[in-house]
Amino acid sequence: MKKYNVAILGATGAVGEVMRKVLEERNFPINNIKFLASARSAGKKIQFCGEEYTVEEVKPESFEGVDIALFSAGGSTSKQWAPIAVEKGAVVVDNSSAWRMDENVPLVVPEVNPEDVKWHKGIIANPNCSTIQMVVALYPIHKEKKIKRVIVSTYQAVSGAGARAIKDLEEETKARLEGRFYTPEALPNHIAFNVVPHIDVFLDNLHTKEEMKMVNETRKIMHAPDIKVSPTCVRVPVFNGHSENVVIETEKPITVEEAREILRNAPGVIVEDDPFNKVYPMPIDVDGKDDVFVGRIKKDLAFDNGISMWVVADNLRKGAATNAVQIAELLIKYELV
Q: Which of 230, 272, 241 is nearest to 155 (CA)?
A: 241
Q: pLDDT tens digit string along 27-45?
A: 999 999 999 999 999 999 9
Q: Which of 263, 14, 317, 254 is nearest to 135 (CA)?
A: 263
Given 129, 142, 207, 233, which residue is catalytic? 129
Q: Which of 36, 115, 113 is nearest to 80 (CA)?
A: 36
Cβ burial, residue 107 (10 Å; 0-12/13-18/19+):
buried
36's enclosing H/E stretch is: strand 30-37
Transcribe 39-74 into DSSP letters: TTTTT-EEEETTEEEEPEEP-GGGGTT-SEEEE-S-
For the chain, which domains are there?
A: 4-127+320-333 (3.40.50.720), 131-315 (3.30.360.10)
The question of whether 242 is a catalytic residue gets the answer yes
The Cα–Cα gap between 132 and 311 comes to: 11
Q: What is the dihedral of CA 160, 164, 167, 171, to 10 degrees?
A: -120
Mean pLDDT per 10-residue section of the chain, whose length is 337 residues: 96 94 98 95 94 97 98 95 98 97 98 98 98 98 98 98 95 98 96 98 98 98 98 98 98 98 98 98 98 98 97 98 98 96
Given 120, 142, 207, 242, which residue is catalytic? 242
The question of whether 142 is a catalytic residue gets the answer no
Residue 223, Ramachandran bin (φ over 0: left; ψ between -120 and 50: alpha; else beta)? left
Q: Which of 136, 145, 138 is nearest to 258 (CA)?
A: 145
